[in-house]
């Protein structure tokens, strides 16, 4: 039984990691969550390590400078894969100098650029992953930012960066009310394509059975037999008119007879 | 039973799907097919004792073909695979064509009259090397004539009769083989042809190293160039002894540059090209070299040919003005010119590239010569008695890029239709048609009707028609020649060689890269002729300077051309045109700068207005990085060029090199028209298509899985597909297919991508469709919102907004492997779409988009069925009638181009490979026009008959009434 528990827990981890993405959202001032102690107890200390990688930013064409730190827990799986979990982000606020440069960016509608290392274990890895946004898209009440980090194992593939909502075009010049960042982060790994279904006999049989279960709705008497009823009605009506005509024929016959006589007279 | 029922249902449904098959008599009405072979590499004549004189050729498109020497028609041809290049072709035993291919590892024999394969032998090869094929005439072994083939480090003797390896020659004879090791050591092997054993081996090191071609001068001497290309080295290997003899080229001619040995196999003579001159050097008995003759211009030469009286002749051809000088001389006596002909040649064929000669005995018993020449534009011509007997435009076998162009508008006053037809002819024609439609026609009449349809008056006119059926396809070939093909009958309206000899010296041989529509006049610039832009490069290197050439589409004349002085990495047509309808183009160079064309101040001002909104991206396939760029500023600081701009990097997507490798990228066609963004579901629900021009489809595979199909296990390979927004670098969709492998062939249109790949687990090819829908507009379903204007349908979309979209996808098995996929395109985008799948059998299959619809379910509801949703099946059907190529094959299919006609229902389809094929398609049938063979006469006669009948009955009734009254 004691052996079973870690196994069960591991499988739970696998299931949770195979979800489409994991999301940890928290603001700058968000309190540091405590890692559940239970998890620490059961996970192998060797396969679970902490990593830190820094976010850097640049204003327009300036050089990159540190702007914050991501810290995360790196899980190593027995099959060799690695995944990041429990991502934390601490954002450095703008210094006064940076505020001025950012204001200039806002005026010129220029780009605010950020970058992350492409490998979190051995930064910077092959190359930096760069993303940029028009500076005017960021200010709301504070500075809204939204990161989507696309991961493949311990590698960062791409970074989507922008404000949380829409960015209206044409972009208006607007200074933020508060110079604090409101950051949201989403970690995304790749989605597995579903297997192409192979339709065997069973499925088709099931389909057929389902068809039997669902009988066609009962139609009304009129809907079923209108094509017989209408001609019948016509025949009846015809018969009725003919019956009335029969009654008239007696009188009609007499007038007809007199006409014949008249024409004979004309000749 | 259940299967039967569902099968029946399927059969029923597939019969309800509009069938696109043709009737037999409709073949050739709208489509044409042209067969080519490609640029000829080797040619062997077969004229002796043959009723039909023919020439066997092998080409750079890996085609072996037999051509009729009288008319140039193809008797038979075989297209070998793309990596089965032909190294040599010979005729053996007078009845077999022997080809050596795949670096000397495959030897095949084909029957000469009909091209049937007789035998095939695969030869063992150890390493890649140059391969040679020779059919010795005098080596007779036991009633069998062995073929000697060298390739992959081995020499093989193979029987010509059955392809078996020969190992028992009766009499001992020694074959001398000279080889090179590591390009600096010469080795002579003496091989006993009886046993195949090496009797003796001798090698000698030549310190300077060898380079370039080898010219074997006689049976025991060859001439090569050393690695500096300035010294000719004569190697003698008499009796297995090697001797070198060096002669600097500068001793032979003054101010020599780099030399190049031309066409090998001239006996006792070597032709060397130095400083744009060709010199003939005789090799004396002791390896002494002396210049015998020299020719001024670039000269093509044939191999030597034995003529009567033990004499050997060779042909040379060179340009003199607009004429070609063809000379046949005796090798021993260069003063004796057996034949001197000068032939007027079209300037747009370029220089002579290759010459093959053949002799025949004239009636006065003298020698006559015919020459097969290959020109710079890859065309093949037969010259005989000072005239071109026939010519083949083989450049069209290697089309690299295609675009379409309109024909000129018909001028007022000259109605071509009236000139062409008299009323009597018209009536006759319609009477015939009427007979045909009433099934009264005799066989002769049917033939006449067919003939009439084939050359139906309007088909091949050189003016624009009302329906837009007549167009020009402008094709750029690998040789750098432009062809304009008429859609009506496929004839070449004009052709133009980009690097004709009269061009500037700065860029000697530009190679064409791509083709763009430069100017498409309509509205306010009607009197301008449309033109195309050809982007070329002055070399094979990607950093080589580019060349732009503007060509008038109506006349085929070059308007202007310019060396642009920077390299060409990417050409981006912008969605802006200037007042003369010239499209603005950006060309990116290797230094990260972009250049604006046309270089006019008007274009510059248009561009400056949109400067902030111009983005572009680059794909670095080897590094697995995609970068997005935005405009930064003018590069005024570095150069004075005000049309040059610097860019800055905005985003990068970095694929981990250990797990992903880019194998395919694709965008939507920039000129595609989408009719409506909304898609109505069966339950009166509305979906909005996510229609963005800035989407990039990327497919990556694991590096291990980048090889051939089946080279990895399913666990090792995964295929990941991405949809990336090229403005912000956002990944909008990412889907990984475990256990799948490339090659990926994809097509991207409107809001969907269809891609084809191999599933290793199921051992089948699969097709997946991905459709993208916009959710930000999903709230606009309320009518009141629309009425009150509270909708965001007219708001501009910004890529910087967070995209709210969702994707739907579905996968199906597909039974065939695919060479290319395209999609039909129509003028307004209303007509439903068809996928055009170029199958491995070089045919084109038209598949309705409805088959690849993620909304397909196993048992669709009644409402869905009424809408036309097909019940889900696990594989896509291949309906034989929907092959648009019907019985034809587009050999070596490489690409399919579609272009809309003016008539909404119709689309032009042009497929190219070694062959060309064109047809017109109507994916939803021609709902907006009457069929071509609609009988107007029948309609007219019916109306006339009706009017007459009305009149007659009126008269009769009048008469009757009158008689009634008189009664």
Q: Cβ(B267)–Cβ(B305) under 8 Å?
A: no
A169 vs B865, residue with greater confidence: B865
Say whether pLDDT at B963 is over 90: yes
Average pLDDT over residues A140-155: 85
Predicted local confidence at residue B543, as pLDDT: 78
Parallel/antiparallel/unpaired status of strands B472-477 and B481-486: antiparallel
Say whether pLDDT at B109 is over 80: yes
B443 vs B956, residue with greater confidence: B956
Average pLDDT over residues B695-715: 86
Q: How confident is the model at residue A261 (pLDDT cuts 50, 70, 90)?
A: very low
Residue A164 tokens read as 């949380």
Contacts of A61 (CB under 8 A, 6+ apart): B632, B648
Q: Which of A148, A188, A204, A217 to mutate: most B Cβ within 10 Å?
A: A204
Residue B385 φ then ψ, to 5°: 50, 45
User: What percentage of chain B exceeds 90 in pLDDT?
Assistant: 19
Closest CA to B915 of B99, B61, B68, B26: B61
Say whether pLDDT at B182 is over 60: no
d(CA B472, CA B496): 14
Average pLDDT over residues B820-836: 92
B510 vs B63, residue with greater confidence: B63
Say whether pLDDT at B19 is over 60: no
Range name among B96-100, B154-158, B723-727 with the lowest pLDDT average: B154-158
Q: What is the mean pLDDT of chain A?
A: 71
Say whether pLDDT at B837 is over 90: yes
Q: Cβ(A69)–Cβ(A53) under 8 Å?
A: yes
- Quick check: helix, strand or coil at residue A122? coil
Predicted local confidence at residue A38, as pLDDT: 35
Parallel/antiparallel/unpaired status of strands B323-330 and B337-344: antiparallel
* Residue B964 region by backbone torsions, left for phi larger than 0, else alpha for psi between -120 and 50, else beta: alpha
Option in B630, B651, B762 nearest A131 (CB): B651
Q: Which of B6, B612, B651 to mutate: most A Cβ within 10 Å?
A: B651
Query: Looking at the complex, does the CB of residue A156 fall below 8 Å from at least one CB of chain B?
Result: yes
Query: Looking at the complex, does the CB of residue A61 fall below 8 Å from at least one CB of chain B?
Result: yes
Give the CA distances from residue B368 to residues B308, B388, B900, in Å, rounded to whole numbers and listed in that order.
11, 15, 53
A61 vs B294, residue with greater confidence: A61
Sign of CA dihedral A82, A84, A86, A92: positive
By residue range, what is the domain housing residue A78? 50-189
Closest Cα of chain B to A5: distance in Å? 29
Average pLDDT over residues A25-32: 36
| A196 belongs to a structural domain | no
Closest Cα of chain B to A118: distance in Å? 7
| A85 belongs to a structural domain | yes
Contact across the interface for A207 and B735, Cβ inside 8 Å: no
Say whether pLDDT at A28 is over 60: no
Contact across the interface for B735 and A190, Cβ inside 8 Å: yes
| A39 belongs to a structural domain | no
Predicted local confidence at residue A42, as pLDDT: 42
User: What percentage of chain B exceeds 70 in pLDDT?
Assistant: 75
Range name among B129-143, B629-643, B652-666 with the lowest pLDDT average: B129-143
Say whether pLDDT at B416 is over 90: no
For the stretch B4-12, contacts whose Cβ atoms lie closer than 8 Å and that sit 24 or more positions apart, written own/partner, are B5/A208, B6/A204, B6/A207, B6/A208, B6/B871, B9/B871, B10/B871, B10/B873, B10/B877
Closest Cα of chain B to A97: distance in Å? 23
Query: Looking at the complex, does the CB of residue B759 fall below 8 Å from at least one CB of chain A?
Result: yes
Query: Looking at the complex, does the CB of residue B771 fall below 8 Å from at least one CB of chain A?
Result: no
Predicted local confidence at residue B789, as pLDDT: 66
Predicted local confidence at residue B126, as pLDDT: 60
List all residues of chain B from 835 to 874 with a beta carbon under 8 Å from chain A: 858-859, 872-874
d(CA B396, CA B475): 8
Residue B38 tokens read as 């490609």
Average pLDDT over residues B881-896: 90
Contacts of B6 (CB under 8 A, 6+ apart): A204, A207, A208, B871
Helical residues (DSSP H) of B227-320, grouped into ranges: 249-252
Exposed/middle/buried for B868, CB within 10 Å: 0-12, 13-18, 19+? middle
Contact across the interface for A127 and B654, Cβ inside 8 Å: yes
Number of C-beta neighbours around residue B439 at 10 A = 6
Q: How confident is the model at residue A267 (pLDDT cuts 50, 70, 90)?
A: very low
Residue B677 tokens read as 């963004």
Exposed/middle/buried for B308, CB within 10 Å: 0-12, 13-18, 19+? exposed
Instruction: Give all strands of the β-sheet with A21-24 in edge-to-edge order.
Output: A21-24, A181-188, A143-152, A155-162
Interface size A-B, in CB pairs within 8 Å, comes to: 155
What is the DSSP secondary-structure string of B898-943? EEE-SSTT-EEEEEESSSEEEEEE-TT--TTS--TT--HHHHHHHH
Residue B29 φ then ψ, to 5°: -75, -45
Q: How confident is the model at residue A124 (pLDDT cuts 50, 70, 90)?
A: low
Closest CA to B355 of B468, B278, B240: B278
Instruction: Give all strands of the β-sheet with B174-181 in edge-to-edge order.
Output: B174-181, B185-192, B198-205
Is the peptide bond between B743 and the residue preceding it cis, with omega within 30 degrees of 0?
Answer: yes
- Using one digit for the tens of pLDDT, what is the confidence trace for B781-806? 666 666 766 666 667 777 788 888 88
Contact across the interface for B729 and A126, Cβ inside 8 Å: no
Contact across the interface for A201 and B2, Cβ inside 8 Å: yes
Q: Which of B648, B652, B654 to mutate: most A Cβ within 10 Å?
A: B654
Option in A129, A156, A192 nearest B738 (CB): A192
Contact across the interface for B800 and A156, Cβ inside 8 Å: no
Predicted local confidence at residue B166, as pLDDT: 62
Closest CA to B755 of B700, B829, B689: B700
Contact across the interface for B656 and A155, Cβ inside 8 Å: yes
B319 forms beta bridges with: B324
Contact across the interface for A196 and B812, Cβ inside 8 Å: yes
Predicted local confidence at residue A10, as pLDDT: 39
B167 vs B341, residue with greater confidence: B341
| B631 contacts on A by Cβ (under 8 Å) | none
Predicted local confidence at residue B898, as pLDDT: 94
Closest Cα of chain A to B592: distance in Å? 15
| A141 belongs to a structural domain | yes
Query: Looking at the complex, does the CB of residue A205 fall below 8 Å from at least one CB of chain B?
Result: yes
Q: Cβ(B779)–Cβ(B694) under 8 Å?
A: no
Closest Cα of chain B to A154: distance in Å? 9
Q: How confident is the model at residue B344 (pLDDT cuts 50, 70, 90)?
A: confident
Option in A130, A162, A194 nearest B800 (CB): A162
Q: Cβ(B939)–Cβ(B49) under 8 Å?
A: no
Say whether pLDDT at A39 is over 70: no
| B1 contacts on A by Cβ (under 8 Å) | 208
Nearest residue of A to residue B858, measured between CA atoms: A207
Range name among B310-314, B490-494, B566-570, B582-586 with the lowest pLDDT average: B310-314
Range name among A45-59, A148-162, B499-513 with the lowest pLDDT average: B499-513
> Position of tokens 């033109």?
B531
d(CA B266, CA B216): 7
B837 vs B258, residue with greater confidence: B837
Closest CA to B906 of B478, B487, B380: B487
* Segments of B487-577 assigned E as strands: 492-497, 511-519, 531-537, 545-552, 558-567, 570-577
Predicted local confidence at residue A266, as pLDDT: 44
d(CA B586, CA B610): 13
Residue A45 φ then ψ, to 5°: -65, -25
Give the CA distances from residue B478 to residues A41, B90, B499, B684, in Å, rounded to whole numbers and listed in that order.
67, 27, 12, 52
Predicted local confidence at residue B474, as pLDDT: 93
Query: Looking at the complex, does the CB of residue B762 fall below 8 Å from at least one CB of chain A?
Result: yes
Q: Cβ(B808)–Cβ(B774) under 8 Å?
A: no
B962 vs A3, residue with greater confidence: B962
Query: Looking at the complex, does the CB of residue A119 fall below 8 Å from at least one CB of chain B?
Result: yes
Total tally of structural domains belonging to chain A: 1
Contacts of B337 (CB under 8 A, 6+ apart): B327, B328, B329
| B731 contacts on A by Cβ (under 8 Å) | 148, 150, 157-158, 160, 188
User: What percentage of chain A exceeds 90 in pLDDT?
Assistant: 5
DSSP B28: T
List all residues of chain A from 173 to 192 with a beta carbon under 8 Å from chain B: 188, 190-192
Say how far residue A151 (Cα) sits from the centre of its chain: 19
Q: What is the 3-state secondary structure (H, E, C) of B628-679?
A: EEEEEEEHHHCCCCCCEEEEEEEEEEECCCCCCEEEEEEECCCCCCCCCCEE
Q: Cβ(B376)–Cβ(B354) under 8 Å?
A: no
Give the CA distances from residue B358 to residues B307, B316, B355, B371, B391, in Å, rounded to whole numbers and listed in that order.
9, 13, 10, 6, 17
| A151 belongs to a structural domain | yes
| A65 belongs to a structural domain | yes
Q: Identify which of A63-72, A210-219, B536-545 has the greatest average pLDDT.
A: A63-72
Give the ipTM: 0.75
Option in B6, B652, B731 nearest A160 (CB): B731
Closest CA to B329 of B284, B364, B295: B295
| B650 contacts on A by Cβ (under 8 Å) | 111, 113, 130-132
Say whether pLDDT at B865 is over 90: no
Query: Looking at the complex, does the CB of residue A165 fall below 8 Å from at least one CB of chain B?
Result: yes
What is the DSSP secondary-structure string of B117-177? EEEEEEPP-SS----EEE--SS--BTTB-EEEEEETTEEEEEETTT-PBP---SS--EEEE
Query: Looking at the complex, does the CB of residue B430 fall below 8 Å from at least one CB of chain A?
Result: no
Closest Cα of chain A to B654: distance in Å? 5
Contact across the interface for A130 and B632, Cβ inside 8 Å: no
Closest Cα of chain A to B635: distance in Å? 15
Q: How confident is the model at residue B593 (pLDDT cuts 50, 70, 90)?
A: confident
Helical residues (DSSP H) of B708-824, grouped into ranges: 783-788
Query: Looking at the complex, does the CB of residue A153 fall below 8 Å from at least one CB of chain B?
Result: yes
Closest Cα of chain A to B631: distance in Å? 11
Contact across the interface for B660 and A137, Cβ inside 8 Å: no
Say whether pLDDT at A231 is over 50: yes
Query: Looking at the complex, does the CB of residue A131 fall below 8 Å from at least one CB of chain B?
Result: yes
Predicted local confidence at residue B507, as pLDDT: 62
Say whether pLDDT at B118 is over 70: yes
Nearest residue of A to residue B623, measured between CA atoms: A126
Query: Looking at the complex, does the CB of residue B334 fall below 8 Å from at least one CB of chain A?
Result: no
Q: What is the mean pLDDT of chain B?
A: 79
Option in A167, A205, A211 nearest B798 (CB): A167
User: What percentage of chain A exceeds 70 in pLDDT?
Assistant: 66
Residue B554 φ then ψ, to 5°: -70, -40
Range name among A212-221, B79-88, B864-873 with the lowest pLDDT average: A212-221
> Position of tokens 């001398």?
B176
Average pLDDT over residues B349-363: 82
Closest Cα of chain A to B16: distance in Å? 22
Query: Looking at the complex, does the CB of residue A7 fall below 8 Å from at least one CB of chain B?
Result: no
Closest Cα of chain B to A18: distance in Å? 13
Residue A215 tokens read as 């009988």
Number of H helices, E strands in chain A: 5, 10
Q: Cβ(B107)–Cβ(B147) under 8 Å?
A: yes
| A22 belongs to a structural domain | no
Predicted local confidence at residue B453, as pLDDT: 67
| A67 belongs to a structural domain | yes
B405 vs B449, residue with greater confidence: B405
Residue B386 tokens read as 């000072």
Say whether pLDDT at B514 is over 90: no
A137 vs B320, residue with greater confidence: A137
Q: Which of A58, A107, A152 to mutate: most B Cβ within 10 Å?
A: A152
Say whether pLDDT at B9 is over 70: no
Contact across the interface for B811 and A194, Cβ inside 8 Å: yes
Option in B660, B729, B795 nearest A131 (CB): B729
Q: Identify which of B371-385, B552-566, B637-651 has the greatest average pLDDT.
A: B371-385
Contact across the interface for B858 and A199, Cβ inside 8 Å: yes
Residue A250 φ then ψ, to 5°: -60, -50
């Amino acid at each position: 039984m004691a052996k079973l528990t870690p196994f069960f827990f591991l499988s739970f981890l696998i299931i949770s990691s195979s979800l489409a993405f994991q999301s940890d959202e928290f603001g700058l001032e968000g309190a540091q969550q405590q890692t559940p102690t239970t998890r620490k107890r059961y996970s192998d200390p060797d396969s679970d390590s902490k990593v830190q990688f820094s976010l850097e930013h640049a204003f327009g064409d300036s050089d990159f400078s540190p702007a914050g730190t991501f810290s995360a827990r790196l899980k190593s799986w027995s099959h060799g894969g690695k995944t990041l979990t429990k991502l934390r982000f601490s954002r450095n606020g703008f210094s006064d100098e940076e505020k001025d440069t950012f204001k200039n960016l806002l005026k010129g509608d220029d780009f605010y650029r950020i970058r992350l290392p492409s490998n979190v274990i051995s930064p910077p890895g092959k190359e930096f992953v760069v993303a940029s946004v028009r500076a005017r898209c960021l200010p709301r009440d504070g500075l809204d930012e939204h990161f989507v980090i696309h991961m493949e194992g311990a590698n960062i593939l791409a970074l989507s960066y922008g404000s949380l909502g829409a960015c209206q075009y044409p972009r208006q010049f607007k200074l933020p009310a508060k110079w604090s960042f409101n950051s949201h982060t989403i970690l995304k790994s790749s989605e597995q394509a579903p297997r192409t279904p192979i339709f065997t006999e069973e499925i088709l049989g099931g389909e057929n059975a389902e068809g039997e279960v669902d009988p066609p709705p009962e139609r009304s008497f009129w809907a079923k037999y209108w094509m017989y009823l209408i001609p019948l009605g016509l025949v009846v009506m015809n018969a009725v008119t003919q019956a009335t005509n029969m009654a008239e024929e007696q009188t009609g016959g007499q007038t007809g007879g007199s006409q014949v006589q008249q024409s004979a007279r004309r000749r | 039973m259940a299967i039967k029922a569902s099968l029946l249902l399927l059969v029923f449904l597939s019969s309800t799907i509009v069938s696109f098959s043709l009737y037999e008599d409709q073949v050739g009405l709208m489509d044409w097919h042209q067969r080519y072979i490609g640029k000829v590499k080797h040619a062997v004549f077969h004229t002796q004792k043959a009723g039909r004189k023919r020439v066997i050729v092998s080409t750079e498109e890996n085609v072996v073909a037999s051509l009729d020497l009288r008319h140039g028609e193809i008797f038979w041809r075989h297209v070998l695979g793309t990596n089965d290049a032909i190294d040599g072709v010979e005729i053996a035993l007078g009845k077999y064509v022997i080809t050596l291919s795949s670096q000397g590892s495959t030897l095949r024999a084909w029957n000469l009259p009909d091209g049937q394969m007789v035998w095939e032998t695969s030869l063992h090869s150890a390493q890649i090397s140059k391969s040679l094929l020779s059919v010795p005439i005098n080596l007779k072994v036991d009633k069998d004539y062995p073929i000697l083939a060298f390739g992959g480090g081995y020499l093989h003797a193979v029987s010509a009769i059955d392809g078996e390896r020969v190992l028992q020659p009766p009499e001992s004879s020694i074959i001398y083989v000279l080889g090179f090791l590591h390009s600096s050591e010469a080795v002579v092997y003496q091989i006993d042809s009886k046993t195949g054993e090496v009797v003796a081996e001798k090698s000698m090191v030549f310190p300077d190293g060898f380079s370039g071609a080898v010219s074997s001068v006689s049976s025991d001497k060859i001439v090569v160039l050393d690695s500096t290309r300035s010294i000719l080295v004569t190697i003698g290997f008499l009796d297995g002894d090697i001797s070198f003899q060096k002669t600097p080229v500068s001793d032979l001619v003054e101010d020599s540059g780099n030399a190049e040995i031309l066409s090998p196999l001239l006996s006792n003579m070597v032709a060397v090209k130095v400083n744009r001159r060709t010199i003939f050097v005789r090799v004396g008995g002791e390896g002494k070299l002396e210049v015998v003759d020299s020719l001024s211009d670039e000269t093509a030469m044939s191999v030597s040919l034995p003529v009567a009286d033990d004499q050997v002749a060779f042909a040379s051809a060179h340009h003199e003005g607009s004429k070609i000088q063809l000379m046949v001389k005796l090798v021993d006596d260069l003063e004796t010119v057996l034949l001197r002909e000068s032939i007027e040649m079209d300037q747009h064929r370029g220089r002579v590239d290759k010459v093959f000669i053949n002799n025949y005995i004239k009636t006065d018993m003298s020698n006559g010569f015919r020459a097969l020449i290959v020109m710079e534009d890859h065309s093949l011509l037969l010259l005989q008695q000072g005239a071109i007997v026939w010519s083949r435009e083989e450049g069209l076998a290697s089309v690299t890029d295609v675009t379409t162009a309109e024909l000129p508008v018909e001028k007022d006053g000259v109605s071509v239709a009236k000139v062409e037809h008299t009323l009597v002819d018209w009536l006759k024609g319609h009477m015939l048609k009427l007979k045909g439609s009433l099934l009264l026609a005799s066989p002769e009449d049917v033939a006449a009707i067919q003939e009439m349809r084939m050359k139906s008056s309007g088909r091949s006119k050189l003016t624009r028609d009302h329906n837009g059926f007549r167009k020009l396809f402008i094709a750029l070939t690998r040789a750098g020649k432009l062809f304009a093909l008429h859609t009506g009958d496929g004839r070449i309206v004009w052709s133009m060689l980009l690097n004709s000899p009269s061009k500037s010296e700065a860029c000697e041989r530009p190679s064409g890269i791509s083709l763009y529509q430069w100017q498409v006049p309509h509205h306010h610039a009607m009197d301008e002729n449309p033109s195309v832009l050809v982007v070329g490069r002055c070399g094979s290197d990607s950093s080589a300077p580019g060349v732009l050439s503007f060509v008038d589409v109506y006349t085929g004349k070059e308007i202007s051309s310019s060396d642009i002085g920077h390299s060409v990495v990417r050409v981006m047509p912008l969605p802006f045109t200037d007042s003369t309808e010239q499209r603005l183009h950006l060309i990116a160079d290797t230094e990260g700068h972009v250049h604006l064309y046309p270089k006019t101040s008007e274009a510059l001002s248009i561009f400056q207005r949109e400067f902030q909104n111009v983005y572009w991206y680059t794909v670095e396939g080897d590094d697995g990085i995609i970068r997005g760029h935005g405009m930064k500023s003018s590069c005024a600081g570095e150069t004075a060029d005000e049309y040059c701009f610097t860019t800055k990097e905005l985003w990068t997507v970095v694929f981990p090199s250990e797990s992903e490798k880019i194998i395919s990228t694709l965008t939507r066609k920039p000129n595609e028209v989408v009719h409506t963004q909304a898609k109505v579901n069966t339950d009166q629900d509305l979906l909005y298509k996510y229609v963005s021009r800035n989407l990039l489809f990327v497919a990556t595979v694991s590096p291990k899985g980048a090889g051939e199909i089946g080279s990895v296990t399913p666990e090792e390979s995964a295929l990941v597909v991405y949809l990336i927004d090229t403005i912000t670098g956002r990944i909008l969709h990412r889907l990984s297919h475990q256990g799948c492998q490339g090659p990926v062939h994809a097509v991207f249109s409107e809001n969907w991508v269809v891609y084809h790949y191999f599933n290793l687990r199921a051992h089948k090819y699969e097709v997946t469709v991905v459709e993208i829908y916009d959710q930000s507009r999903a709230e606009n379903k309320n009518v009141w919102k629309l009425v009150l204007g509270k909708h965001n349908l007219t708001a501009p979309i910004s890529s910087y907004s967070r995209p709210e979209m969702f994707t739907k996808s579905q996968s199906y098995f597909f039974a065939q492997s695919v060479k290319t996929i395209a999609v039909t395109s129509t003028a307004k985008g209303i007509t439903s779409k068809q996928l055009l799948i170029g199958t491995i059998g070089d045919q084109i299959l038209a598949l309705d988009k409805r088959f690849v619809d993620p909304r397909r379910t196993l048992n669709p509801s009644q409402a869905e069925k009424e809408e036309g949703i097909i019940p889900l099946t696990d594989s896509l059907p291949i309906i034989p009638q929907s092959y648009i190529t019907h019985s034809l094959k587009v050999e070596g299919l490489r690409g399919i181009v579609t272009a809309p006609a003016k008539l909404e229902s119709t689309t032009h389809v042009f497929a190219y490979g070694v062959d060309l094929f064109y047809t017109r398609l109507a994916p939803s049938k021609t709902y907006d026009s009457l069929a071509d063979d609609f009988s107007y006469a029948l309609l007219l006669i019916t109306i006339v008959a009706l009017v007459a009948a009305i009149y007659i009955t009126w008269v009769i009734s009048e008469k009757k009434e009158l008689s009634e009254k008189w009664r």
